[in-house]
Amino acid sequence: GESVGLHLPTLSVQEGDNSIINCAYSNSASDYFIWYKQESGKGPQFIIDIRSNMDKRQGQRVTVLLNKTVKHLSLQIAATQPGDSAVYFCAEKSGGSNYKLTFGKGTLLTVNP
């Protein structure tokens, strides 16, 4: 079946550097994408979302880029901090579903002080 996946399982960066986490999706009907952050022992926490009619959206220190041509999504974190260390998941909704999220496998981000 169609699914959402991630290119890299782990990413290690130095504090203060920018981080880029990538995600590939295969469902061309996907129309809404979300990035979640999950810290150890906690549930996923919403970071930022983007609709398929956009190619970029910015939040506080985070930017999501969407390339529908190659079905690729990325999360950029500026000036990465130790508190950003977590597993990051991309998730998608498709086909008009307004409730079912399909998650990728996740990328573990480690920020070194």
- Residues engaged in binding another protein (CB under 8 A): 4, 31-32, 34, 36, 41-46, 49, 51, 89, 91, 93, 96-106
- CB nearer to another protein: give 63 or 102: 102
Torsion of CA 107, 109, 46, 61, to 10 degrees: -130
> Of 8 and 79, which has the nearer Cβ to another protein?
8
- Strands 30-38 and 86-94, by their bridges, are antiparallel
Question: Would you say 96 or 113 has its CB closer to another protein?
Answer: 96
Residue 108, Cβ neighbours under 10 Å: how many? 15
Closest C-alpha to 47, from 32, 31, 63 = 63
Smallest distance, another protein to C-beta of residue 44, A: 5
Shortest gap between Cβ of 12 and another protein (angstroms)?
17
Opening angle at CA 110, ends 3 and 67, nearest 5: 35
Q: Is 61 helix (H, G, I), strand (E, B) or coil?
A: coil
Q: How far is the CB of 43 from another protein (least distance, A)?
A: 3
* Nearer residue to another protein within complex by CB, 53 or 113: 53
Q: How far is the CB of 8 from another protein (least distance, A)?
A: 13
Q: Which two tokens stand for residue 52?
A: 């398929």
